[in-house]
Amino acid sequence: MFGFAKKLVKNLEQSVNETIQTINTRNNTAISDSYFHSIPETLLIRYYDSTNTLKIITNIDQLYGLRVVASEEYQLQLSPFFDYIIGINDSPIPVQFNEYGYMVVDYNAIYKLLNDAVLDTKEIKLNIWSGKGGFYREEYLTVQPNDEIQEIDINSGSNEAAVTPIFVSLGFKVQWQPLIAATYTYHILSITDNSINKNRLVANTDYIIGCQEGLLCTGGEKLLYNILQSKQNQEIELFVYNSEHDVVRNVKFQLDERAKLGCNVGYGYLHRIPIPKDVQERMLAEQQNGQDSTFNSQENVPPPNPEDILQIPLLQQQQQQQQTDTDVKPEFKPLSFEQQISNNRRKHTKAHVDNNLLSQLQEPEETINRNSSNSSSVPPPPILHKN
């Protein structure tokens, strides 16, 4: 019976995906998945391939952003785990290609933007995509100059292109990750055995978004089951988001030899986190008042800047160039993007920080690759707080 229900859900999800793709084809929508439709088209990364043909990255597995993985207590504008910075000042995140042909963030370009904001005493606009329902919004930050003397490591290399930041930290940390990682959630559908659950999980409104040691970060329908089986007769800590109260909490289970949570869970297209109720109400109110919503409006975003379009070399071309080029190129070393904020200007309700969650997790160094099942890259465990 369970197998039949499982096949029925898969067939239903496949039918929904096919229907959405058909509608998007008719409407000439760039991104096939409606969960990412709020992303302005001008913030999608553009490039010229080897045939000088303009390409736009619209594959949902290739949509990347700077995921907020940690924030300071005073930084209330960004939500760790859920928020992705997909643009700065209405331009896509600056990227470049390293010596191996992989696209990486150009942190020097980001530092230059922030340095210019300090010199011009201007605010910077962060274009944010949220994993809570996939809505888009904008946040403004005031960048303050750093008056302290900074030490420069003269032995770190001779990279003349490196930009030294002249601003204080903005109060959050980010990591380059795929947006699809925000959908790796497990929806609590029903409680089957409350003697095991003991009112720890709530049906319909709870979503398991993470686990201790980042074990759920790679996603997958069977991953949660496999982790529970590996933790038989052990304690396991899960991170759970509640959509009704818009809050994240940590829940601990002492598993027995059966390794059960006492509930049924759903995973996939039909079980993604919805938009928070307060955001839905504000969006509806703005639409009724005839105002442009700052959460998903694309009309105010200017057309793409030609300077944002990359001339992307193929890996084979880079290898040939390396064979013919006698100049020694410095090794590309992405800088950290740790920042701090003051004089915040909010555009939506302030969040509340849970200090206990922030102190329990730390960020790994590598990101995930959803297309490779054998990849050893693991994204950071969620750094969570109440919204």
Ordered per-residue pLDDT tens for the chain, 387 residues = 545 555 555 565 555 555 544 444 434 456 889 999 999 999 999 888 778 888 899 999 999 999 999 999 888 899 999 999 999 999 999 998 888 878 899 999 999 999 999 998 889 999 999 999 999 999 999 998 987 766 655 555 445 567 888 888 899 999 999 999 999 999 999 999 999 999 999 999 999 999 999 999 999 999 999 999 999 999 999 999 999 999 999 999 999 999 999 999 999 999 999 999 999 898 888 888 876 555 554 444 455 565 566 554 444 444 455 555 544 444 434 333 343 333 333 333 344 444 443 444 344 444 444 444 444 445 555 555 554
Please count the structural domains in the chain. 3
Asked if 58 and 91 sit in the same domain, the reply is yes
Q: How far is CA 369 from the centre of its chain?
A: 13
Asked if 13 and 86 sit in the same domain, the reply is no
Asked if 197 and 332 sit in the same domain, the reply is no
Q: How far apart are CA 38 and CA 299, in angstroms?
A: 12
Structure tokens belonging to residue 263: 């509930």
Q: Is residue 315 part of a domain?
A: yes
Neighbours of 319 (CB within 10 A): 13
Asked if 252 and 307 sit in the same domain, the reply is no
Q: Is residue 235 part of a domain?
A: yes
CA distance between the termini of the chain: 39
Q: Is residue 383 part of a domain?
A: no
pTM for the whole structure: 0.70
Asked if 281 and 171 sit in the same domain, the reply is yes
Closest CA to 203 of 216, 186, 219: 186
Asked if 258 and 331 sit in the same domain, the reply is no
Structure tokens belonging to residue 180: 């699809």
Q: Is residue 109 part of a domain?
A: yes
Q: How far apart are CA 30 and CA 304, in angstroms?
A: 15
Residue 248, SS3 per DSSP: strand
Range of 221's domain? 186-271
- Who's near 338: CB < 8 A, 6+ residues apart? 169, 170, 172, 173
Strands of 286-363 (E only): list them: 310-311, 342-345
Asked if 5 and 52 sit in the same domain, the reply is no
